[in-house]
Amino acid sequence: MRNLRFAIFGTGFWSRFQLAAWHEVGGVECVALYNRTRTKAEALARQFGVPAVYDDPEALLQREQIDFVDIITDVDTHSKFVGLAMARCLPAICQKPMAPTLAIAQQMVSACQQAGVPLHIHENWRWQTPIRQVKRILDEGVIGPPFRARIDMISGFPVFANQPFLKELEQFIITDLGSHTLDVARFLFGEARRLTCQAHRIHADIKGEDVATILLDMGGGAQQIRSSPPSPEAGEGVTVLVEMAYAGTPLERERFPETFIFVEGPLGSIELGPDFWIRVTTAEGTHAKRHPPPRYAWADPAYDVVHASIVPCNANLLAALRGEQPAETTGEDNLKTVSLVFAAYESAQTGQTIHFG
């Protein structure tokens, strides 16, 4: 089976880890890079031996023979580059958040559906080693059907010191972290039936929110925003609390970028805690085991759990591009996560619970 040829659009911070992960997976060949600042693309090309560099995306698509495009640019440009790929019937893998608004995300998905061109979203958080393990334990039914859960991504990491442009975002933590944590909630517990959100801005010198708390009733079917609550016959569901913070307070945990999860069921509980330890407690006692991510030489040790998750995510997307298995994070699927992100903003602004059906 021949290698699939692809091009990367965008050669910023994330791109070298994405490209290294593609090399780890194998079965692909990056033949061209695009970046509006050509020197950045040239530096990445030298590092990975990519033969062609462009500062014009349309010129790249006209000249290169490729099988798909991997889009690793700013969120505001995603729809443009997906559109360019779609016009040439090229599948696109797009970074998250998918789009800056729900309407644009819906337009991207609809256009690709109508054109019959695959759109995949590189949502790698659900592919983290310990989170996959939590899902496996849930599916085994060890604690019975879950009825309550908490997903925490609370960090004292100095995110604004490292990336000062984040201070200028009108919408920050729910789009930045919520895109991941809300997708994890869907991955573990199904679709949302209703959502309530409260958000805060703790740093006085930023424009967006740096703390958010989202309460979800999950376990529903197809997700559509509706004006009235679901009927009581909808089922018991799972109450899920999603907490996010970059407030920088002394109480915040220093385990960036780890996600902590606690799930309760009638037969026991599952806890994913610091340093990738998972504790399963039932009537038989507590069983604890550490589930660290794989260690890759190209990954930043401080980001191991995130960088390592790119590899299985890319492997799944490659298998989908080859027609060997479905992709977990299609545009259609990720649109449900995007809907939750913007429903959270609506709830925070209005003080209302958003209902889905």
pLDDT (tens digit, 9 = 90+) per residue, 329-345? 999 999 999 999 999 99
Q: Give the pLDDT band (50/70/90) at residue 54.
A: very high
Does residue 220 surpass a pLDDT of 70?
Answer: no
**Homologous superfamily of the 4-121 domain (CATH):** NAD(P)-binding Rossmann-like Domain (3.40.50.720)
- pLDDT one-digit tens code per residue, 128-183: 999 999 999 999 999 999 999 999 999 888 888 877 888 999 999 999 999 999 99
A 10 A CB-CB count for 26 gives 10
Query: What strand order describes the sheet that includes 92-94?
Result: 52-54, 28-34, 4-9, 68-71, 92-94, 119-121
Model pLDDT, residue 252: 67
What CATH number should be reported for the domain whose range is 127-300+330-356? 3.30.360.10
A 10 A CB-CB count for 194 gives 21
Query: Distance of alpha carbon 225 from its chain centroid, rounded?
Result: 21
Strands 28-34 and 52-54: parallel
Residue whose structure tokens are 């009733």:
217
- pLDDT one-digit tens code per residue, 231-248: 334 447 999 999 999 988
Q: What is the pTM of this model?
A: 0.93
Residue 164 is given by DSSP the state G
Rounded distance, CA 242 to CA 261, Å? 9
Break the chain into its structural domains and give their ranges. 4-121, 127-300+330-356
Does residue 49 surpass a pLDDT of 50?
Answer: yes
